[in-house]
Amino acid sequence: MGARAGYPLLVRGGVGTPKLRYPYTLRRLWAIRYYPWRFHNQPVLLAQSFTILSYANYNKPTYQTRTIMTKLSVNINKIATLRNSRGGNNPNVVKTALDIEIFGADGITVHPRPDERHIRYNDVIELKKVLTTELNIEGNCREQKFVDLVLQTKPAQVTLVPDVQGQLTSNHGWDTIANLDYLKEMIGLFKAAGIRTSIFVDPVIEMVKGAAATGTDRIELYTEAYAQQYSVGNFQLAVSSYVAAASMATELGLGLNAGHDLDLNNLKFFSQQIPLLHEVSIGHALICDAIYLGLENTVQMYKRQLQKQSI
């Protein structure tokens, strides 16, 4: 189907803003507009051209396509779980994290819990000494030990997660409305220490607005619901609430992270639907894939899933 008068055709090009190409007839009309003396012997055509161009210029849509390179932060909790299962220091958590950086990851995520069943608090301290990429510490800020650890190590980012004591894995986001005053206090504390802040939230517009009211720098969208729907083929249903939440977050000036159950099957589609996604945090699926594919290869495969395609 050809383009209507005044409407540009999108042309695939390099990275950045889409290139616009007008159909032949419209290019000719613009030629008439700027070089009318060339068509002095066609007065009717001249008159019609100026009428069409006036309408086209007024009604021409504006294309604004913004994308950013989404960073991959690898959660290494499962590496620590394997080490702890036998005691000793094999695998070496710090060395593995350094290797993951070398293999191309943009950051390392850890989620220390009070029972230290995977990442230990001392692991975090040692990691901060040697990492050259961003360190993201996730956890429940209602635990004073966690707060003290974050303030001591001063990671690039702290992600506040509403875990309860003994929780197996994170399974819900903050109620940012009911906990607004408390989250404001904690966000202020960490930001005063120069730490970027993020709040773990469900893809609900009201929760995103509540997060913005806390003063946080970013939110992390909890993506388990997306992964579940995607796995049964409900692709648009899977992502629709996340697109809406991401749009609201961007409108409110919040940065966007995402995590939980993202994997090689569903990551690319999610990333494509959320063009301003800053970071994904992936651990369990990536480490499982690494058993078969190798750690270096797996990190690179996840990175490729995050590559944005120009339109």
The catalytic position among 220, 260, 278, 279 is 260
3-state secondary structure of 279: strand
Gap between the Cα atoms of 33 and 10, Å rounded = 23
The catalytic position among 101, 118, 138, 279 is 138
- Can you list the alpha helix ranges (DSSP code H) found in the chain? 24-34, 43-59, 77-86, 93-102, 121-130, 144-153, 180-192, 205-214, 224-231, 235-251, 267-273, 284-293, 295-305
DSSP string of 188-214, one letter each residue = HHHHHTT-EEEEEE-S-HHHHHHHHHH
Strands 19-21 and 9-11 turn out to be antiparallel
Among residues 293, 279, 265, 270, the alpha carbon closest in space to that of 70 is found at: 279
Active site residue 138: yes
Active site residue 118: no
3-state secondary structure of 178: coil
Other C-beta atoms closer than 10 Å to the C-beta of 227 total 18
Bond preceding residue 91 cis, omega within 30 of 0: yes
Determine contact, residues 282/258, Cβ cutoff 8 Å: no
Q: Residues near 229 by Cβ (< 8 Å), separated by ≥ 6?
A: 235, 237, 238
Active site residue 284: no
The catalytic position among 111, 220, 278, 279 is 111
Structure tokens at 206: 């009201």
3-state secondary structure of 11: strand
Q: Is 247 buried (19+), middle (13-18) or exposed (0-12) by CB count in 10 A?
A: middle
Catalytically active residues are: 111, 138, 260
